[in-house]
Amino acid sequence: MTRPKIGFLFDVDGTLTTFHANDSVIDLLIINDLETIRKLNFPIGLITGRSVQWVRNYFFNHVNDTLKEYIPVFGEFGLVNWYRGKKVRKRIKKELRELLRNVKKECTEAICEYRELEPYESYVQPDQRKLWIEPKEIMITFRTLPLYGLTTEKLLRNIEPIVKEYANELKIVPNPYAVDILPIKTSKKTAAEKAIRTLDKEKAVTKWFAFGDSETDREMSYAKNADVKFYKIPRGVTREAHLIIERLLAGSPE
Ligand SMILES: [Mg+2]
């Protein structure tokens, strides 16, 4: 009897990584798990708000090339994806693209003026009190710097009034590490649907298992035309994800 094919969807930050000084670091146990899943030829998709570039160049730092090529990335909530060796951006209207550009500028100016900050755009945390903007291709990400009092709540105070003006087009997704701004219809659900379509063209996967550390990640389980079970992992407790993966790979009941 051949084993039923199962698939895995993972949020990245806080699910596959722990945070050290505001930096997201992958756990070695998890790398082993991903390797085991690959050897069984079960599909894996990363469903993240992070950019493809960050995942490929920072998160995958300690991952071998075979695994790096095996795992597609559905980045920026599925707006920019990486699979079969190339990057594919979701087509979005020119007006929306322009709106995002303008909102980014408006928010940056408002925060910088109010908090007397200089903008700083990089994947790497600044070593001074600055407005840390994480590079993204389509969505917008302002990172928190709690060390300098720049918390989610404080960033939201400047961002919310601006984004509210475009409530039909844009939404805010906050977490302790960042405030994300993205198109209203973009979500972990749409990203998971894209991942499932891409990873299981023959519809051979009988069940998907999705892992995340926030309620936003739960949206993966609402993906249409697929059976997706969601596991909520306490933020940064990667050991928990590891134990569940082990159990599922051993064929134990969920
Ligand atoms: Mg997360």
How far apart (Å, rounded) are the C-alpha atoms in residues 195 and 184?
19
What's the pTM value of the predicted model, to 2 decimals? 0.94
Return the bridge partners of 179, or none. 142, 174
15 alpha carbon – ligand 1 mean position (Å): 6
| d(CA 12, ligand 1 centre) in Å | 6
- DSSP letter for 168, please: T
Res 3: pLDDT: 77
Distance 157 CA to ligand 1 centre (A): 22
CATH fold of the domain at 94-183:
3.30.1240
Q: Please give the distance, rounded to the nearest whole angstrom, from the Cα atom of residue 3 to the centre of ligand 1.
A: 30
Grouping H, G, I as helix, E, B as strand and the rest as coil, residue 24 is strand
Distance 214 CA to ligand 1 centre (A): 6
Instruction: Report CA(14)–ligand 1 centroid distance (Å).
Output: 5
Sequence-ordered list of residues with C-beta below 8 angstroms from that of 201, at least 6 positions apart, any chain: none
Q: Distance between the two ends of the chain, CA-based, in angstroms? A: 20
From ligand 1's centre to the CA of 125, what distance in Å? 18
pLDDT for res 2: 67
* Cα 231 to averaged position of ligand 1 atoms, centre (Å): 12
Helix, strand, coil fractions of the chain, as percent rounded to 5: 40, 25, 35
Query: How many angstroms is it from 236 CA to the middle of ligand 1?
Result: 8
Distance, in Å, from the CA atom of 7 to the CA atom of 22, rounded to the nearest integer, reads 30
HEC string for 163-188: HHCCCCCEEEEEECCEEEEEECCCCH
1 CA → ligand 1 middle, Å? 37
- Cβ neighbour number for residue 114 with a 10 Å cutoff: 11
* Cα angle 186, 188, 190; round to 5: 55
- Ligand 1 centre to CA of 13 (Å) is 4
**Separation of 11 CA from ligand 1 center, angstroms?**
6
Q: Please state, in angstroms and as integers, the Cα–Cα distance from residue 185 to each residue in 103, 146, 178, 215, following that order.
A: 17, 30, 20, 17
User: What does each of the 254 residues of the chain score in pLDDT, given as a tens digit?
Assistant: 567 899 999 999 989 988 776 677 788 889 999 999 999 999 999 999 999 999 999 888 888 999 999 999 999 999 999 999 999 999 999 999 999 999 999 999 999 999 999 999 999 999 999 999 999 999 999 999 999 999 999 999 999 999 999 999 999 999 989 999 999 999 999 999 999 999 999 999 999 999 999 999 999 999 998 999 999 999 888 899 999 999 999 987 66
d(CA 232, CA 253): 17
Question: How far apart are alpha carbons 191 and 48 in whole angstroms?
Answer: 8
- Helix (H) or strand (E) holding 86, with range, is strand 86-89
What is the predicted pLDDT for the residue at 26? 84
Listed by start position, the domains of the chain span 5-90+186-249, 94-183
Integer Cα distance of 107 and 114 in angstroms: 11
Distance 177 CA to ligand 1 centre (A): 9
Q: Which fold has domain 5-90+186-249?
A: Rossmann fold (3.40.50)
